[in-house]
Amino acid sequence: MEELVEIAKNKLNKKHLLIIGNSEIKRSKLITQIIEQTNFETFRFPKGIKSIDEYIEFVRTKKLYEPWYTKKGKFGSNQILDFHRDWISDNNSLIIIEELENMEERWKVDLLKSYLNEIAIRKKGQKVIHLIISQESENNLLQKLEEEIWIPKNDKRTKRQIIEGSLEKIEIK
């Protein structure tokens, strides 16, 4: 397991991680070991988030957004999600979302797309958000992301190359 932690830690500096395989307990243990050996401000979402509302509530509670305008009262879910996407692009934290397979498909792909775009478009040496997600199996997640991801007009990479350059799959045996 130590070797896997070291591999994951080194990959995390360049890519987001998708941890699959074995049991939920082993995946969680691996993530905890990675967190302990990195020096990032870490936000660990509750396990098994199923809806975008649960995701937004955690974002609201932990203040993982910065509004660009002031308003009396609370911001709505759509506003917080917009602010959160900007926060993602300006942040150097580690986000952990465990057991993601049960989240609403449309929102799961949309959120992951936001995180992947930050890696795909970053400049060399630029600090960027880090993401670790886990689920039981890959379950065609890469293919679903490939269908949704955006490629800059003059980019010579394929959608699959962009995804593989932004997300490293680590399988626990």
Comparing CA positions, the residue from 167, 173, 117 lying closest to residue 143 is 167
Q: Report the domain count for the chain.
A: 1
CA dihedral 54, 149, 164, 96 (to 10 degrees): -10
* Residue with tokens 């990032």, as numbered in its chain: 40
Q: Domain span at residue 55?
A: 2-172
**First-to-final CA distance of the chain:** 10
| Tokens of residue 144, six digits | 């679903």
pLDDT in tens, the chain (173 residues): 789 999 999 999 889 999 999 999 999 999 999 999 999 999 999 999 999 999 999 999 999 999 988 888 889 999 999 999 999 988 999 999 999 999 999 999 999 999 998 887 776 667 789 999 999 999 999 999 998 887 878 888 888 998 998 999 999 98
Spell out where 5-85 has E strands: 16-21, 42-44
The pLDDT value given to residue 59: 97
The pLDDT value given to residue 125: 67
The pLDDT value given to residue 124: 67
Burial track 88-122 (b if 16+ CB lie within 10 A, e otherwise)? beebeebbbbbbbbebbeebbbebbbebbbbbbee
Q: What is the CATH number of the domain that holds 56?
A: 3.40.50
- C-alpha span between 29 and 24 (Å, rounded): 9
What is the model's pTM? 0.93
